[in-house]
A and B are shown apart, each in its own frame.
Chain A
Amino acid sequence: MMNIFKKTILTVLVSFLLIGSAYAGKIKIGTEGAYPPWNSKDASGKLIGFEVELAWTLCRYIGSQCEIVEQDWDGMIPALIMRKFDAIMAGMSITAERQKAISFSQGYADEVASLAVMKGSSLEGMETSEGINLGKKTGAVKKDLKTLTSALAGKTVCVQTATIHQNFLESGDVGKVNVRTYKTQDEVNLDLAAGRCDAALAAAVAFSDYAEKSGKPVVLVGPTFSGGAFGNGVGVGIRKDDTDLLNAFNKAIDKARKNGDISRIAIKWFGFDASM
């Protein structure tokens, strides 16, 4: 009697383990759904955006069923580690800090970050180059950082919490600024428009998307940022021990890139080719 009981439990446990390791079931992909045009929700609450469409495409190449689930940004990596889902596609840049906790696939898209202000702000008309790459600290980059440091001194700059944008502002590259953090980019936009923030920092497309949809006079100022604290493109975040899934995503991204899927979807959502 006891034996049968033990066997049953063992079978159940083993089958759970099998379900957990093989992706015969479903790949669950976590996204924020609040960072347009990367990922957001339409009026009916359906998840849409560049990454949502790309996720379905990648799933087709992997040949597995997928489910896209929503997760608040600040709990994204903990939720992945605690197996609420198996992959992150949420405009998450590949940075050394995050790579301590999770693995990333190769990058599938790249974004530049930018400061934004309301029209008429004293920060408008800052004299800097078009864009700077913080990966290489050349003379021109240092000069721009200096200009930014003096322009932003004592100013309140708003960012979404736990982002590359927050890391950059707290890195000391632009001196001491009052960094105010928000749970979502929506809230950053609201407070920028309300005048509580002197400036905000996020993906340039996040601001242009907001300006277009809300009709608010939000303008981009200063250089666009890439490299360094801004990471090396956006990739799929995957648990460190999930090498099978990592390989599957890498192969799927290769295929999607070769067939022009990533470019096509990027142009549809961003208006330009953000693929990489």
Chain B
Amino acid sequence: MITSLPKLLSATVVTLKLLSLSLFFGLFIGLLFAILRLNKNKIINKFAYGYSYVFRGTPLLVQIFIIYFGLGQIEYFRSTFLWVIFKEPYWCAIIAFALNTGAYTSEILRSAFQTIKPGIIEAGKSLGISNKIIFYKIQIPVAIRQSLPAYGNEIILMMKGTSLASTVTLMDLTGVAKYIISTTFKPIEVFIVAGGIYLFMTFIIHNLMKFLEKKFSY
């Protein structure tokens, strides 16, 4: 149980890398699609809605399998320059995670934008501030503050979701735990240690979000 700890901890680094990169790209995707969702153009709006509908409506495991094993089966795809990225399980996992968390993040941000009280925007307008500045300096900061609790939840869900990286050969925390079990045949002990590490990461994320919520409260 104790002897497995160093290996599991170094695998935790892989998990954290997967998580931070996915969240980084996911946040951009989410912000982009949230803005597209608020667009008055019907086609753009429907496209953004379709994206979030598909990625929120299918299991993450299926998405990662389609991106990793599915795309690899298409001969034409393997001859394109994209194959350099998609050949690596690491990037396939990050792409799948980023697209998935991006869909959820876009919904979180969209609802945050929509709950902004019109009074705040009107106040800005009455001060003669331009629409652009109102959007960047008022709407976005307020929306981010509004979405913090929901986004914290999404980070925790994504953190647990990274365990699926082990299904595409990556040696993340779950992957290494399974590997240790396959050589020691002791599933309970190893999974308890791995579970404890996940729990600890949740604890950190949870407190970090609480701190941010307090800091940006108004």
Q: Which A residues lie at the B interface, using CB under 8 A? A: 74-75, 77-78, 81, 97, 101, 158, 161-162, 180-183, 187, 190-191, 193-196
Contact = CB atoms under 8 A, between A and B. Distances in A.
Contact of A190 (B72, B78, B178, B185): B72
A81 B185 contact: yes
Given A78-B185, A161-B178, A190-B69, 12 more contacts: A78-B181, A97-B183, A101-B185, A158-B169, A162-B179, A180-B169, A181-B179, A190-B72, A191-B72, A196-B72, A196-B87, A196-B89
Given A194-B72, A194-B73, A194-B78, A183 B167 contact: yes
Contact of A75 (B78, B89, B167, B187): B187
Contacts of A77: 185
Contacts of A101: 185
Interface of B: 69, 72-73, 78, 87, 89, 167, 169, 178-179, 181-183, 185-187
Contact of B182 (A161, A191, A194): A161
A101 B167 CA distance: 26
B78 A195 contact: yes
Contacts, number: 44
Nearest to B182: A162
Contacts of A183: 167
B73 A161 contact: no
Contacts of A78: 181, 185-187
A162 B179 CA distance: 7
Contacts of A161: 178-179, 182
A181 B185 contact: no
A195 B179 contact: no
The residue among B78, B179, B181, B183 with the most chain A CB atoms within 10 A of its own CB is: B183
A78 B185 CA distance: 5
9 nearest CB pairs, A to B: A162-B182, A194-B72, A101-B185, A77-B185, A78-B187, A180-B169, A74-B182, A78-B185, A190-B69
B76 to A, nearest CB: 13
Contacts of B183: 97, 162
B87 A195 contact: yes
A181 B172 CA distance: 12
A187 B186 CA distance: 25
Nearest to B83: A195
B58 to A, nearest CB: 20
Contacts of A196: 72, 87, 89
A68 B169 CA distance: 29
A74 B181 contact: yes
